[in-house]
Amino acid sequence: MDFMTAMRVSSSGMTAQRTRMNTISSNIANVHTTQTPEGGPYRRKDVILDAIPEQKNFGEILIDKADRNLHRVQVTDIHVDTKAPLLKYEPEHPDANEDGYVAYPNINMMEEMANMIQATRSYEANISAFNASKNMALDAIDIGR
């Protein structure tokens, strides 16, 4: 694998994890949102990632056949949770139904925080891999001097 391919794979991982962190942040920010423009409480969102073959230009395909199984990550969808909302008895709340229950998003803060830590660590790992590729490229240039 060449340096540019390694950097493209790492950058695709960083892009996917950034999207994931933004989605998790949205879930955390809307944990108490009882009304949305679509109607009803906020629905939890989750990012769907997929491994896709690394795209190369024609020249790279002719030269290198060793990296056929090399894949990069891509966000393929953002899934909206279909679980029923959590009902809490709050008859004084302006969004309470006729029985006094308010529908809140079905979001588990512990799960969201664990997902945020995992996405952050994955992002940091991709940064480390990207920097390692960059440093190897710079060292290769120094050898040639």
Q: Is 41 helix (H, G, I), strand (E, B) or coil?
A: coil
Please report the pLDDT score of residue 23 as a whole number. 97
User: What pLDDT score was predicted for residue 90?
Assistant: 94
pLDDT of residue 27: 96
- Tens-digit pLDDT profile for the chain (145 aa)? 677 888 888 999 999 999 999 999 999 999 999 999 988 899 999 999 998 876 655 555 555 555 566 678 889 999 999 999 999 999 999 999 999 999 999 999 999 999 999 999 999 999 999 999 889 888 888 887 7
Alpha carbons 20 and 135: distance in angstroms, whole number: 27
Instruction: Give the pLDDT score at 126.
Output: 93
* pLDDT value at residue 1: 66
Structure confidence at residue 52 (pLDDT): 84
